[in-house]
Amino acid sequence: MNIDALFSDEAKRMKRSAIRECLKLTQQPDIISFAGGLPSPSSFPYKDITEISAEVIANSGAAALQYGTTEGENLLRDELVKRYLKEGCKVTRDNFVITTASQQSLDLLGKIFVNPGDTIICELPSYLGGLNAFKVYGANFIGIEPDELGMSAVELEKQIVKLEAEGKKPKFVYIIPDFQNPAGITMPVARRKEIIKVAQKHQVLIVEDSPYREIRFDGESQPMLYSLDDQGLVITLGTFSKSFCPGFRLGWIIANSEVLEKFVQAKQTADLCTSAYLQKIAGLYLQKGLFEKNIGNIVAEYKDKRDNILRCFKEYFPEGVTWTHPEGGLFLLVTMPEHIDSDKLFYKAIEKKVAFVQGYTFFCDGSGRNTMRINFSYADKKTAEEGVKRLAEAIKEML
């Protein structure tokens, strides 16, 4: 039987994640991995979660183990409201829907907004998980190469005007403004205001993907795009995967009520609701002030690891190799001479028992073949230094 003939168009557009496939290769115990976006296991609050889990079962066991509402647990949403009010965002509980991590949020975005052939404007490079989620629903992409300040508002408006002239107004602009994945760039407030101004002028939605915002090492926090918009054009995605527990798979969508109603409808066809038990644990964790306590430890650890890997790059990488200097987050982008193909380099690196993610997978136009994304949050400092040495050897051999 020809099963392929039965698959939907959406299913035929699906493909395995390059990052997930990389992780299969890196599960060998002797491979040093800079590939996945894995938080450090030492960042997980084991003791606190153990105690809060028992408290949730003791005090609300039946409700915790039962189905929950699609919108999410009230305690968790109320605690998130407190956090975002401090960010200058005008929100209430009704502006939030809890999702099964931000990856579900990205999939729901594609489901409710994208028809085959629709155009999405994104950064070049941009988060692979977002691009793949939208591509399944038939999206086309226009990537705008950033300068040192991120996506250019001038180039954004040029692309919007061009698309409008062709009768193809973009469905939304997808931006990661804080410690962008994979490049690590942070967009300053002046550029954010320019982007908002363009979006409001042309009435185009902006999707603000914000998974790393709390993990800042240097510089000053910049206002969220959501806080700068007074027309309901910004949809913000958040998650606990990088700042709390990736295994909980908890994320959220912030948007105006009209948009959120469609997210609720789409989520009900996907999973009905996100785990009430895990939401109750997370809500209580926030309420007790434990999130703020632990995020300080995470920032200190990751800053130390970032500084270490930048030192190692400077010491071991050959001339002609450059890299970004993120103010926070978990990633940076390495750029090599033009003739270096990261695919070929990847397998040479695997032979030397070190791994990374090929940078071109984050470029919607297939460019960036001489780049690689490096994660610095997972490996300890000694292991990271050995990994950089091995990677440097592979690059030198390619040169």
The CATH number that applies at residue 41 is 3.90.1150.10
Cα–Cα dist 255/273, whole Å: 18
Closest CA to 208 of 333, 89, 366: 89
CA of 180: how far to CAs of 32, 125, 148, 227, 263, in Å?
A: 23, 9, 12, 19, 25
Give the mean pLDDT of 372-394.
97
Give the mean pLDDT of 376-399.
97
Q: Do 252 and 308 fall within a single domain?
A: no
- pLDDT for 30 equals 87
- pLDDT for 35 equals 92
- pLDDT for 372 equals 97
How many domains is the chain partitioned into structurally?
A: 2
- pLDDT for 94 equals 96
Q: Do 393 and 245 fall within a single domain?
A: no
Locate all alpha helices (DSSP H) within the chain, ordered by sequence.
Answer: 9-13, 18-26, 46-64, 74-86, 101-113, 128-135, 153-165, 189-202, 225-228, 257-270, 276-287, 290-316, 342-351, 381-398
Give the mean pLDDT of 363-374.
96
Cα–Cα dist 368/272, whole Å: 39
Q: Do 203 and 102 fall within a single domain?
A: yes
- The pTM score is 0.95
Q: Do 336 and 281 fall within a single domain?
A: no
- pLDDT for 195 equals 98
Q: In the listed set 268, 290, 312, which residue is the last one of a domain according to the structure? A: 290
Q: What backbone phi and psi angles, to 5 degrees, belong to 204?
A: -115, 135
Q: Do 185 and 50 fall within a single domain?
A: yes
- pLDDT for 8 equals 85
Between 295 and 37, name the one with better pLDDT: 295
The CATH number that applies at residue 94 is 3.40.640.10
Give the mean pLDDT of 293-298.
96
- C-beta separation of 364 from 174 below 8 A: no
In terms of phi and psi (left: phi > 0; alpha: psi -120 to 50; beta: otherwise), the region of 88 is left
Cα–Cα dist 353/219, whole Å: 35
Q: Do 249 and 270 fall within a single domain?
A: yes
Locate all alpha helices (DSSP H) within 119-246, ordered by sequence.
Answer: 128-135, 153-165, 189-202, 225-228
Q: Do 68 and 208 fall within a single domain?
A: yes
* Amino acid, res. 241: S
Average pLDDT, the chain: 95
Q: In the listed set 290, 306, 335, which residue is the last one of a domain according to the structure? A: 290
Q: Do 108 and 161 fall within a single domain?
A: yes
Cα–Cα dist 277/288, whole Å: 17
- pLDDT for 22 equals 61
Give the mean pLDDT of 269-288.
98
Q: Do 121 and 156 fall within a single domain?
A: yes
Q: Do 298 and 282 fall within a single domain?
A: no
Cα–Cα dist 327/364, whole Å: 25
User: Tell me: the pLDDT tens digits for 203-243?
Assistant: 999 999 999 999 999 999 999 999 999 999 999 999 999 99
Task: Look up the domain containing 117 and give its range.
Answer: 46-290
- pLDDT for 260 equals 96
Cα–Cα dist 337/353, whole Å: 23
**Hey, what are 364's tokens?**
């919607």
Cα–Cα dist 362/366, whole Å: 8
Q: Do 331 and 281 fall within a single domain?
A: no
* Amino acid, res. 253: I
Q: Do 276 and 141 fall within a single domain?
A: yes
pLDDT of residue 322 exceeding 60, the answer is: yes
Q: In the listed set 290, 322, 354, which residue is the last one of a domain according to the structure? A: 290
